[in-house]
Structure 1
């Protein structure tokens, strides 16, 4: 299992994440850049390792495309995706690790660290701080996914028969019927009239008009 990151200044981690979204993208996230943002303590540099672990910066501390993506409107979902990628082994063990108890997290982190009790506690708190700033409702394979390509088919509704109470206040769906009639060119006008009289009788319930003698 990986060596999980931690920072003793977890209270400043949220502020740094806010700075990522509100300030320009630096060529490199170095200690000098942290100081320019107001993080002047020697412990503040530990936050660089946290951002590297979740993929906002690469091994050379250069911002990745995920950094720019995190600056968008869906930053909480993007952070959720980054956390699930960085802590992949943890989420493989606990699919809902973002909601795992402190006891469970302590057990997992202690098995992958040689640090003492204080280090493990800070590792747990670092993870919890990241989780508080993230949204995991759509942080699966693609946090910015807009849903399935094909919507599920709507249930069909059969129209109620005449005189039958459907028991529902929903309106009956409209039914449209196309009828094609093929009349031979050799048909007489009397035959054609009979055809349309029959149609009126069976489709509309009309009675044929009596012919006057």
Structure 2
């Protein structure tokens, strides 16, 4: 909690971090504790922009994790240890948040809308900021270890969705025929030759399927010539 005075009015500000940012910072500290936590360290560990890191660093100082000179505080060893993590979170809650908030909302399953309204009234923050402040407060109040999916310091790369063009290139050739040629297939099965006389009456039969693909720009004369040629060679007409 930080206090500033403007025109005789004291303004109280509270930290805000998303759950991903908080869990990412803790996961990085579990790996190693740097001598100094600065903007460059936040950029590298959260894989974020300079502007975002410049917003995160003051929140770490407000939470008492980093001192004014950027040095890690005495809270970090307990935050890193799973067995003492909940106690460290409780220390932060008691150091940072007002008695009025902790008395009114002492359980982590409190209504976040009502908690956000408390921040809006008492810290003078807007709707979005007060919701973020409430989420961090309830996260710390719960003191629950992050799940396995939340322990990665680096965000997972997002999968690129296939564009319509790339999807079309991946289709099988059979599916990529122009619509103008659909229905231009002809199956011709020549008559089965009669069985030879004097035999057993059983002879092998031959069945031929033919597919004819006619270009969409073919004229009537070309189409007529194709079918005349088929009749001539297949039926002797």
Q: TM-score, with normalisation over the residues of structure 2?
A: 0.48
**Partner SS state of residue 112, structure 1:** helix
Counterpart-to-counterpart distance in 1, 2:56 and 2:43: 12
Counterpart-to-counterpart distance in 1, 2:86 and 2:28: 14
Other-structure match for 1:172: none
Residues 1:115 and 2:99 are matched in the alignment: no
Cα contact 1:28–1:62 (8 A) shared by 2: yes
Counterpart-to-counterpart distance in 1, 2:144 and 2:132: 19
Cα contact 1:91–1:97 (8 A) shared by 2: no
**Partner SS state of residue 96, structure 1:** coil
> Which residue, 23, 27, 31 being the options, matches 1:23?
31
Other-structure match for 1:124: 134
Cα contact 1:31–1:45 (8 A) shared by 2: yes
Other-structure match for 1:37: 45
Residues 1:58 and 2:67 are matched in the alignment: yes
Counterpart-to-counterpart distance in 1, 2:92 and 2:34: 19
Counterpart-to-counterpart distance in 2, 1:134 and 1:59: 28
Counterpart-to-counterpart distance in 2, 1:84 and 1:134: 17
Other-structure match for 2:23: 14
CA RMSD of aligned residues (A): 2.6
Other-structure match for 2:166: none
Per mean C-alpha deviation after superposition, the further-off stretch among 101-110 and 40-49 is 40-49
> Deviation digits for residues 17-50 of structure 1, max 9, x if unmatched?
2222x22222221111112324322324433233
1:134 to partner: Cα distance:
4.2
The 3 A distance-change label for structure 1 pair 92 and 129 is: closer
Which residues of 2 match residues 84-99 of structure 1 at below 5 A?
A: 84-94=94-104, 96-99=106-109
Which structure's CA Rg is the greater one? Answer: 2
Which residues of 2 match residues 1-213 of structure 1 at below 5 A?
A: 2-7=12-17, 9-20=18-29, 22-41=30-49, 42-72=51-81, 73-94=83-104, 96-134=106-144
**Partner SS state of residue 123, structure 2:** coil
**Partner SS state of residue 26, structure 1:** coil
The answer to which structure has the higher strand fraction is 2
Higher relative contact order (CA 8 A, sep 6+): 1
Any unmatched runs of 5+ in structure 2?
A: 1-10, 146-237
Counterpart-to-counterpart distance in 2, 1:16 and 1:81: 18
The 3 A distance-change label for structure 1 pair 55 and 19 is: same
**Partner SS state of residue 65, structure 1:** coil
Cα contact 1:94–1:100 (8 A) shared by 2: no
Counterpart-to-counterpart distance in 2, 1:63 and 1:133: 20
Count matched residues.
133
